[in-house]
Amino acid sequence: MEQHRARHLIPPSQRLPLEVQFLVLDEVPKVSQTWVIMRDSLRSCALTCQAWLPRAHRHLYHTVYLDAPWQTPLLARTLTEFPITGPLIKHLHVPCFSYIVVNGHPERLPGRGYVPLAANAVSKLTSLRSVAFRVPTNDYAPPFFFPLVQSFSVLGDLESLSFHNAMFPSTVIRNLLSSFPAIRSIAIDKCQWYGAGQPAPDANAYPDRYRDLRDLRIRTAITVGPYLDIFAEAVKLTSVLLWRHKLGSHDSYEGLRRYTQLKVLDLGTCNWNIAWMMETLSNVRSHKMRRLSLTLRSHETSLETVIRHWSESGLDDVLSAAPFLGLEQFDLILYCSGFSHDAARVEIVRTLPQCHARGILRLDIKPYKSAEK
């Protein structure tokens, strides 16, 4: 009340127009260093001025993280009692809790210990653009995981699906993904799919599967070959990211041959050996490639060894022939330690003369300690 009265003590001629106030309010999420700071700042704004309330709510609910089991029923209740909240949520992060921490130790939840977001609550998220599902530990997906994911398939504006840390059968997850025909982006991070050799879902049951898929991201998978095959029928797919940490001894990248519309390819690894990257590039058939990104790490390895390895791989010649003649940008990102960045830059340019002469090479050399993505 005191704040409200204080505002009216300001002469009208000295007040900022409401549109300008909104612009200032819109900057709060951008300048806040943490989500907690942003939340507290927006709450203060909402309490300061009634006219700011809708704007503050829009930012507060734009991205929702369900970080604890008790937050899920709270969100469900909010969506039921205040339906206006649903359309404000654009991005949702849903951890699929299978355990709780008691006295610093994880204990598995009993069968009914965690209640996932109900389907009737999900249906109120009418403006949701992306949803990320995360199993807190690298564990088998809990029994409610698949019905929970399926409940989001009714949302017509949903564009992005992400899965983190879960292990699940290939047949189930493939059927789930096939039921999201409008999805444009799929991210699979630290997930293990078992039974990947099983037959694909019946095409007649999902005639529109992957019809709009354009972006595929696979990180920290032991093998990627089966998953490249799964999504190869996505005729509009133009961007693929593959990040490998533990390289499987038997893997195939032949599925990339069917990605005929591919424009962007992003490859990353935890070391400086690009052998698997070269194998991946040998399977690219798209003549529409415009951007390639390679991210490598070199820790306590001599610059001479790294450069020799790259030179012997024939990378410069590969990228100077079909289907890479249309490349507009080649990003080479190296996290390194133990040698001069300037020296590395000179030697890399010398090793990739054709790419450098075409003006497509973009070098980014960083300290090894920041090698995370």
63-111 pLDDT per residue, tens:
998 888 788 889 999 999 999 999 999 999 998 765 544 454 444 554 4
Listed range (3-12, 140-149, 259-268) with the worst mean pLDDT: 3-12
Q: Are residues 55 and 70 in the same domain?
A: no
User: Rounded to 5 degrees, what are φ and ψ at 235?
Assistant: -70, -20
Q: Which amino acid is at 335?
A: Y
Q: How confident is the model at residue 216 (pLDDT cuts 50, 70, 90)?
A: very high
Residue 236 lies in a domain: no
* C-alpha span between 126 and 157 (Å, rounded): 7
What mean pLDDT is predicted for residues 163-169?
82
* C-alpha span between 254 and 279 (Å, rounded): 9
Q: Are residues 346 and 362 in the same domain?
A: yes
Q: Are residues 154 and 74 in the same domain?
A: yes
Domains: count for the chain:
3
* C-alpha span between 364 and 205 (Å, rounded): 46
Q: Are residues 72 and 121 in the same domain?
A: yes
- Domain encompassing residue 195: 62-213
Q: 105-108 and 99-102: which strand pairing? A: antiparallel
- Which residue did the predictor score with more confidence, 152 or 180? 152
Per-residue pLDDT of 113-135, as tens digits, reads 567 888 999 999 999 999 999 88
Q: What is the pLDDT of residue 106?
A: 45
- Asked which of 40, 60, 80 is the last residue of a domain, the reply is 60
Residue 220 lies in a domain: no
Residue 68 lies in a domain: yes
Q: Are residues 79 and 46 in the same domain?
A: no
Residue 346 lies in a domain: yes
- Which residue did the predictor score with more confidence, 180 or 266? 266
Query: Does the pLDDT value for residue 226 go beyond 70?
Result: yes
Residue 3 lies in a domain: yes
Q: Are residues 81 and 41 in the same domain?
A: no
Residue 223 lies in a domain: no
- Asked which of 29, 60, 91 is the last residue of a domain, the reply is 60
Q: Are residues 371 and 248 in the same domain?
A: yes
Instruction: Report CA-CA distances (Å) from 1 to 7, 14, 21, 53.
Output: 10, 21, 20, 15
Q: What is the pLDDT of residue 322?
A: 95
Q: Are residues 250 and 297 in the same domain?
A: yes
Residue 225 lies in a domain: no
Cβ–Cβ under 8 Å, residues 94 and 132 = yes
* This prediction's pTM: 0.82
Q: Are residues 56 and 67 in the same domain?
A: no
Q: Are residues 42 and 123 in the same domain?
A: no
Percent helix, strand and coil across the chain, each to the nearest 5: 40, 25, 40
Q: What is the pLDDT of residue 1?
A: 47
Q: Are residues 336 and 198 in the same domain?
A: no
Residue 234 lies in a domain: no
Q: Are residues 37 and 82 in the same domain?
A: no
CATH code assigned at 146:
3.80.10
Helix (H, G, I), strand (E, B) or coil at 131: strand
